[in-house]
A and B are shown apart, each in its own frame.
Chain A
Amino acid sequence: MAAMIEVKNLTYHYPEVAQPALDHISLTVEQGEWVAIVGHNGSGKSTLVRAIDGLVDFSEGEVTVAGIKLTPDSVWDVRKQIGMVFQNPDNQFVGATVADDVAFGLENAGIPRDKMIQKVDAALKQVDMAAFSDREPSRLSGGQKQRVALAGIIAMNPSIIVLDEATSMLDPHGRQTVMDVITKLRQSEKAPTIISITHDLDEAARAQRLIVVNDGQQLATGKPAEIFANEALLASSGLAQPFSTRLARSLAQQGSVHPDHYLSDTEMEDWLWQSHLTM
């Protein structure tokens, strides 16, 4: 596998803020990989992905995207590779209508008009927003805004997708839709590289790998199950205990048998059933 994103020793200070937002952080994301970034509020997650997209003027370190080293000259080539949904969708909208907005990236990429209209329609349908194509993006509900922002990325089909808390205000059905879209994209020929920042641990658990960011550094990385098994790490990085861990503890308090190490939800179900059978 080839590295799609390489961040080396990256440091960034926001103007007039003493503490660095990124502090000599290094990490690699492989081509076609799905990585979830987690960590407490203010740990540097959004700054990190903005830096990868060339939106942050970092002082030290190096970013390479799809083999292109990020410099003021290459920034547009880098951005062409990346489709990003920002944490607040209001910061993202450029079109006067929902359809214009979703079309914006395609138009810039020089896609012919009839093809563009097709792609916009298809993308809006995927997120259940086809009925809103003539509406003003600013006059939508929170979840509708997030759906439109996602449609813009789906239409573009970039080789790197970055979702910065893109599902934080979606209803449960909408969240599931996004997970289904990601699954489908990953099985497609293009199989994009996906970075999703999320505070939803169920969502994070579906990624191939987690990166835990703390104080502008990569505190840990590993398979979701490895990270969730590490209680000390969870506590120190603003993460809560997974449901199965909490259930095991409550069972212990009841004086009942309980697993003594982390199990995923399905493993926990099997474990409980096996224990029940021994009664």
Chain B
Amino acid sequence: MAITFDHVNFTYQPNSPFAATGLKDVNLTLPDGSFTAIIGHTGSGKSTLVQHLNGLLKPTSGQVQVDDFTLTSTTSNRHLKDLHQHVGMVFQFPENQLFDQTVVKDIAFGPLNFGFDENTAHDMAVQAAKTVGLPDNVLERSPFELSGGQMRRVAIAGVLASQPRVLVLDEPTAGLDPLGREHMMQMFEQLHEEQQLTVVLVTHQMDDVADYADQAVVMGHGEVLKAGAPQTIFNDPQWVYDQQLDFPTATKFAFQLQQKGFSFNQLPLTEQQLADQLADQLPAMDGKGR
């Protein structure tokens, strides 16, 4: 199975003077077990796109297929509960997905709702809170009386505790401290590798695209502008600039070094790729050439 978008259009507030285009004729395939990064300028339709994956939004026309689930304009909400278990979504603003009285209840909601008994759900919640690095002393507090990064962690924990098969992450590391960002991305990567979760990541961090994604989709004004391996996307620098995108840190660094006289066979996207190619152009540590 896989995720497919088939001629999907979406309009916000249709048939009103405020009608605004969200998506325009989107056609996409995200293979089962893939890790896809969705990138593109502010307002390009990334959040609109991924909110179709768990039925939060339904296509105005066209069809979205998520494994066994089919979504069209007429799909009724009654059919969505199983989809909500199948697809876990971390919203762009964590405040918009928190709701319960305490942090631990908020995280336990998914497991409870999907059939686990109270004790098990509680234990799963405590475990998930630990995994995302929440301090113990926040568990019994209101999820709204936390710092921004702590709320983000609660939202992620709630999604993990529901053990979804598809993980949709809308800028999941915005608001996390730098170490938290690294840990969280590595954890998503691990879930992807070990449990073959399909991961869809919306991000403005080109380093995350380079480090984790096997496919990148570039959105612009509600349309898919390009889809392909990160290497393919970044290999066209002028196009990347024109889309108001950026390059991974290692790539920008390599561009600067190129100006000085270093040469690279293949454009480095990650720090490791850069180090590999640089090492060949530097003396060895023991002072001998290579």
A137 within 8 A of B: no
Query: Contact check: which of B20, B93, B138, B275 meets A88 at CB < 8 Å?
Result: B93
Bound-state CA distance A239–B148 (Å) is 16
Q: Which of B8-24 contact A (CB under 8 A)?
A: 12-13, 18, 20
Bound-state CA distance A45–B92 (Å) is 21
> How far apart are B89's CB and chain A's nearest CB, in angstroms?
14
Q: Cβ of A17 and Cβ of B148 under 8 Å apart?
A: no
A111 within 8 A of B: no
Q: Cβ of B253 and Cβ of A170 under 8 Å apart?
A: no
A209 within 8 A of B: no
Q: Cβ of A199 and Cβ of B177 under 8 Å apart?
A: yes
Q: Cβ of A42 and Cβ of B146 under 8 Å apart?
A: yes
A232 within 8 A of B: no
B176 within 8 A of A: yes
B256 within 8 A of A: yes
Residues of B within 8 A of A18 (CB): 137
Residues of B within 8 A of A243 (CB): 249-250, 253, 271
Q: Cβ of A279 and Cβ of B283 under 8 Å apart?
A: yes
Given the known interface contacts A141-B43, A199-B175, A251-B275, the answer about A41 and B149 at a Cβ–Cβ threshold of 8 Å is yes
B130 within 8 A of A: no
Q: Which of B118-126, B179-187, B188-196, B224-232 lies on the face that meets chain A?
A: B179-187
Q: Which residue of A lies closest to B177 (CB)?
A: A238
A152 within 8 A of B: no
Q: Cβ of A40 and Cβ of B283 under 8 Å apart?
A: no
Q: Cβ of B275 and Cβ of A41 under 8 Å apart?
A: no
Type the 1/0 row for A234-266, where 1 means its CB is closer than 8 Å to any CB of B: 010011100100110011111111100000011
A142 within 8 A of B: yes
Query: Contact check: which of A19, A39, A135 meets B177 at CB < 8 Å?
Result: A39
Q: Cβ of B42 and Cβ of A251 under 8 Å apart?
A: no
B79 within 8 A of A: no
Residues of A within 8 A of B257 (CB): 269, 272-273
A172 within 8 A of B: yes
Q: Cβ of A255 and Cβ of B179 under 8 Å apart?
A: no
Q: Cβ of A199 and Cβ of B271 under 8 Å apart?
A: no
B178 within 8 A of A: yes
Type the 1/0 row for A165-180, where 1 means its CB is closer than 8 Å to any CB of B: 1001111111100000
Q: Cβ of A255 and Cβ of B174 under 8 Å apart?
A: no
B25 within 8 A of A: no
Residues of B within 8 A of A19 (CB): 137
Type the 1/0 row for A117-160, where 1 means its CB is closer than 8 Å to any CB of B: 00000000000100000011001111110010000000000000
Q: Cβ of B43 and Cβ of A279 under 8 Å apart?
A: no
Q: Cβ of B42 and Cβ of A238 under 8 Å apart?
A: no
Q: Cβ of B282 and Cβ of A279 under 8 Å apart?
A: yes
Interface size, A (range)? 35 or more
Query: Contact check: which of B146, B147, B174, B178 meets A169 at CB < 8 Å?
Result: B174
Q: Cβ of A269 and Cβ of B260 under 8 Å apart?
A: yes
> How far apart are A145's CB and chain B's nearest CB, in angstroms?
9
Bound-state CA distance A135–B180 (Å) is 35
Q: Cβ of A40 and Cβ of B12 under 8 Å apart?
A: no
Q: Cβ of A199 and Cβ of B178 under 8 Å apart?
A: yes
Given the known interface contacts A142-B92, A199-B176, the answer about A171 and B253 at a Cβ–Cβ threshold of 8 Å is no
Given the known interface contacts A90-B93, A250-B272, A256-B283, the answer about A171 and B42 at a Cβ–Cβ threshold of 8 Å is yes
Residues of B within 8 A of A254 (CB): 275-276, 279
Bound-state CA distance A269–B181 (Å) is 26
Q: Cβ of B43 and Cβ of A87 under 8 Å apart?
A: no
A187 within 8 A of B: no
B153 within 8 A of A: yes
Given A41-B149, A87-B148, A276-B262; 13 other pairs, CB 8 A cutoff: A42-B138, A87-B175, A140-B43, A141-B47, A147-B42, A199-B176, A238-B177, A243-B249, A243-B253, A243-B271, A256-B278, A269-B253, A273-B261
Binding site for B on A (CB under 8 A): 14, 17-19, 39-43, 45-46, 87-88, 90, 128, 135-136, 139-144, 147, 165, 168-175, 199, 201, 235, 238-240, 243, 246-247, 250-258, 265-266, 269, 272-273, 275-276, 278-279
Q: 23 A-B residue contacts at CB 8 Å?
A: A41-B149, A41-B177, A46-B148, A128-B42, A141-B43, A143-B204, A168-B175, A169-B174, A171-B42, A171-B204, A172-B206, A174-B42, A235-B179, A239-B178, A240-B178, A240-B179, A246-B271, A256-B283, A269-B260, A272-B262, A273-B262, A276-B261, A278-B283
